[in-house]
Amino acid sequence: MNEIATRTLLEVNGVTQSYSNAGEEARALVLDNVSLRLCQNEIVGLLGRSGCGKSSLLRIVAGLALPKSGAVNYRGAPVTGPVQGVAMVFQSFALFPWLSVLENVELGLRARKVPETEARKRALAAIDLIGLDGFESAYPKELSGGMRQRVGFARALVVQPDILLMDEPFSALDVLTAETLRTDLLDLWVEGRMPIKSILMVTHNIEEAVLMCDRIIVLSSNPGRIAAEIKVGLQHPRNRLDPAFRQLVDQIYATMTQRTDTEKARDGNFPGLGMGMALPRVSTNTFAGMMEEIADEPYSGKADMPALADSLHMEVDDLFPVAETLQLLRFAEMAEGDIALTAAGKRFADADTDTRKALFRDHLVAYVPLAARIKQVLDERPSHQAPASRFREELEDYMSEDYASSTLASVTNWGRYGEVFAYDEQSQMFSLGDLH
C-alpha cells in the first residue's frame, strides 16, 4: 500500500463531465464517474472510440478543463489549472506557424521566465534528443507531418515534465511515419533517455495501444465509463505478429463489442436515446460496401472484427460507427468481437438497387426515430413540407449544436437514399415532393 502511494503520480477520482450547453438536466454525460491512477514508469493507454470522452478526460488531467464533479490529484495536490509537471502532445501538432522550430520549442521555457541562454541550451538539447537537429531554423510549414510531430514532442519534453500526455499523437500521420515515430519514442522511453516518469496516451488504434502501453484502459461510450483495464505484460520491443500480441488485440476487440445489457446494446451505443440519438456521418455506400464484404467469402455472413478492419483498411474509429449504425438498422449484430449480418442484412447484400432502397427505407423509418419523426411531420402537414430548422432545434434540446447538425445531415442523406423524403438545400426544407 505504502509503496503504491509513493509510486502514484496522478489520481483521477470519480470524474464526471457533461455537455456544457445541455442545461440543468445533465442528460448528455460525456464522462461518468471515471477513476484511474497513473504510476511511475508506466505507459497507460486510454482506448475508446471517437466520442467516448477520452480526449475530454485527457484535458481534465492536463488541467485545461474542469470536470463537473470529481477531482484530479497530481502528487497529492488538486489540479485546478495547468500544472508544471504535465506536458501535452497534440494530434494536430498545434505548432505556432509563425515561430521557427527552435522558437516553438523555447516558447514554454520563455513563458516561464527561464533565462534566454539557458532556454536556448535546453531547447537545443531537446531538439537533438528527438532527432530534429538541422531543422532549428525551419518553420513548421516547411516540415513534413512526422517532423512536425517531433517538434511537438521536443516542445513537450523541454519543460521536463513528470507526465507526458499524448492525444492521438500518431493518428494524423501516414502509416510508415507513425511507425517510425512510435519506435523512436519507445526506444527513448525504454532506454530512459527522456526526463518523463510516465506517459498517458489517448488512442483509438488497438494495435498501437498494445504495442506501446503497459496498461490499457478501455472506455465505453455514452457516457464514457471504464469498461475494462487490461495489463500488457509483453516485453519491449513487441512484435505485432507474436501470437500473444494477436490474442490481446482480439481480446480488446471482444471487450469493445461486448453487450453491457442486451436491451441497451442495440440502440444504446450512440449518445442519447430515441430522438436524442447522436448519429455518426456514415455514407450509404459504406453501409453497402461493408455488408457486401461481410456477406462475401471468406466471411460468409459473419466476420471477425480485427480481420474485417484489416481487409477493409479501416481503423476502429471508422469501423465501429459503421458497424453500430448497421446494428441500429438491424442489418447486423455485434458480439464478442464478431459482426454478423441479420437476415435483412443478407437480403440487402444480394439485392439490386431498387430492392436495396426499399429495404433500407423500411428499416430507416422503423429503427431511426428521427427519420420516422421527419416522415410523420411531413405526412401530417397538408403542404408535405417542413423546414430543417424545426428538427435541428428539436435535436439541440438533447445534444450540442455540432452533433445536432451532423446527426441531421446523416439522416437527411439516408432519407434521400431510401427516398423517404426529399431535401432542398437552398430553401432548407424537407418535403415529400417529387418522389416516385
Binding site for other proteins (CB under 8 A): 59, 62-66, 80-82, 84, 86-88, 90-98, 107-108, 110-113, 139-142, 148, 155, 159, 389, 425-426
CA dist list (Å): 401 to 57, 225, 277, 397: 21, 23, 13, 9
Q: Measured from the CB of residue 218, what is the shortest distance to other proteins in angstroms? A: 25
The nearest distance, CB 282 to other proteins, in angstroms, is 22
Nearest distance from residue 88's CB to other proteins, in Å?
5
Q: How far is the CB of 164 from other proteins (least distance, A)?
A: 12
Nearer to other proteins, 113 or 313 (CB): 113
Backbone angles phi, psi at 429, to 5 degrees: -120, 140
Please give the single-letter amino acid code of residue 225: R
- Closest CB 29 distance from other proteins, rounded Å: 16
Least Cβ distance, residue 327 to other proteins (angstroms): 32
Residue nearer to other proteins on the CB measure, 67 or 418: 67
The three cell numbers locating residue 81 = 489549472
Residue 173 or 249: which CB sits closer to other proteins? 173
Looking at beta carbons only, is 30 or 368 nearer to other proteins?
30
Asked if 239 contacts 223 with a C-beta cutoff of 8 angstroms, the reply is no
- Residue closer to other proteins (CB basis): 22 or 230: 22
CB of 359 to other proteins, least distance (A): 33
CB 58 within 8 A of CB 134: no
Q: Quick check: 241 and 60 in contact, CB under 8 A?
A: no
The residue among 231 and 390 lying less far from other proteins, judged by its C-beta, is 390
Could you tell me if 171 and 91 are in contact, meaning their C-beta atoms sit under 8 angstroms apart? yes
- H helices within 92-221, ranges in order? 101-111, 116-129, 145-157, 175-190, 206-212
- What b-and-e string marks burial along 372-404, b requiring 16 or more CB atoms within 10 Å of the CB? bbbbebbeeeeebbbebeebbebbbebbbeebb
Q: Is 426 exposed, middle or buried (0-12, 13-18, 19+ CB in 10 A)?
A: exposed
Give the residue with the Cβ less far from other proteins, 107 or 332.
107
